Amino acid sequence: MDSALITSDAVTFGLLMAILAGIFITSHSDNAKWQKFYKFVPSLLLCYFLPSLLTTFGVVSEADSNLYYIASRYLLPASLVLLTLSIDLKGILNLGPKAVIMFLAGTFSIMLGGPIAILIVGTISPEIIGATGPDEVWRGLATVAGSWIGGGANQTAMLEIYEPSTDLFGAMVTVDIIVANIWMAFLLYGAGISDKVDTWFKADASAITELKNKIADYQSNIARVPTLVDFSKIAAVAFVLTALGHLAGDSIAPWIDANAPALADLSLNSSFFWIIVVATTGGLILSFTKVRDLEGAGASKIGSLFLYILVMTIGMKMNIASMLDAPGYFVIGAVWILIHVTILLLVGKFIKAPFFFVAVGSQANVGGAASAPIVASAFHPALAPVGVLLAVLGYALGTYGAWLSAEMMRIVSGF
């Protein structure tokens, strides 16, 4: 796909950083028009949406770019380290069980959503699901279930188990990315109006507010003018732990593949899984040490910048025009995600869960460790680790949940 206007990653990255700077400048402007604009459009949503327009209109080529890989493998773990340095682990635990309940509701709704979507779309347009052999639609949708409950490793597991054709899998990857990213855009918007949603849910978000205020107070109390030494320490902590994560992933994942293949069902053979686990765990451990004081020099701000860059590269992955290539599959994906959303909102309303738990519980399933902290940080940077912890749980459940969903889709496809 060299038809894009810009094919160089260096030029593309420069363009993304220029857009990011423009969003930051305008979102913090004193101009009344900009203030009114960002009252309705969250800056994080723009960071996600504008790069998608670059891909859609052929300005940049996501297919030939390594920017997402670099951001997800290097900047994401570094960001998680820096965002967890000042975390109040006790405060997170005090958030209570509703976060886990909403996460499990998200998992359950995705498991059921696939078969129900096939029944609904198959009844209206039987030709969409009428293929046979490796082109049977349920086989491709099994890989979407793996991605939406766990992540890339779980998706790969479903690919190997059900063996959809190459063309079908390619179409399903597109459905996965587009539908999931559109839903993520809604969640980012929802973060900006979470107070209104909480009022509708009659939810008590005081524990979340208390945690945010506690972190903000801590940050203001230890804030200082950072020095070059501070920045070098921040960079060292972030990227040394990232390096340890890669070392663990490059060592443990192949060993599990060779010696304990049964553990692959828990995604323990995924190097990305170990990168995320080591980075998050390392950051949490350091939060109990004096390294925590690096927050006073702006550690979480640098971590947030890394996360924003990741958002830009994720946005590049969404080519809105590609929805026209397989409209029937996108209809299934849209119905599926609507079922997921409906069940989540009903459960959230019933247990009076703050919208934060609804959003993060959903994204920990659908987006995994790469984007769950993004949605969590849209509420407050200090809450990013909540998204990571739930996403790691998704890795563990992903293969089992996706397998059950796939078998249900296989059964209903036969009717």
**Predicted local confidence at residue 89, as pLDDT:** 67
pLDDT of residue 265: 61
Q: Cα(155)–Cα(149) distance, rounded to whole angstroms? A: 9
In the block, tokens 């599959």 appear at 329
Asked if 218 and 295 touch (Cβ cutoff 8 Å), the reply is yes
d(C-alpha 272, C-alpha 253), whole Å = 9
Task: Determine the pLDDT at residue 228.
Answer: 95
DSSP lists the bridge partners of residue 6 as: 60
Tell me if 119 sits within 8 A of 412, measured CB to CB.
yes
Beta-strand ranges (E) seen in 203-319 are: none
pLDDT at 21: 96
E strand or H helix at 259: helix 228-259
The end-to-end CA distance of the chain, in Å, is 40
Please tell me the distance from the alpha carbon of residue 223 to that of residue 206, in angstroms, as a whole number.
Answer: 25
State how far the Cα of 226 lies from the Cα of 232, in Å rounded to an integer.
10
Q: Rg of the Cα trace of the chain?
A: 21
CA 394 to chain centre: 11
Degrees to nearest 5, angle at CA 326 with 325 and 332: 150
* pLDDT at residue 207, rounded to an integer: 78
SS3 28: coil
- The Cβ of residue 201 has, within 10 Å, a number of other Cβ atoms equal to 21
Instruction: Let me know how many helices (H) and strands (E) the chain has, helices first.
Output: 19, 0
Q: Residue 312 carries which side chain, given as an amino acid letter?
A: M
In terms of Cα–Cα distance, which of 411, 363, 352 is closest to 390? 363
Token representation of residue 413: 């496809």
Tell me how far apart the alpha carbons of residues 148 and 374 are, in angstroms, rounded to a whole number: 16
Q: What pLDDT does residue 1 have?
A: 43
Can you tell me the distance from the alpha carbon of 146 to that of 157, in angstroms, rounded to the nearest whole number?
Answer: 8
Which parts of the chain sit beneath pLDDT 50?
A: 1
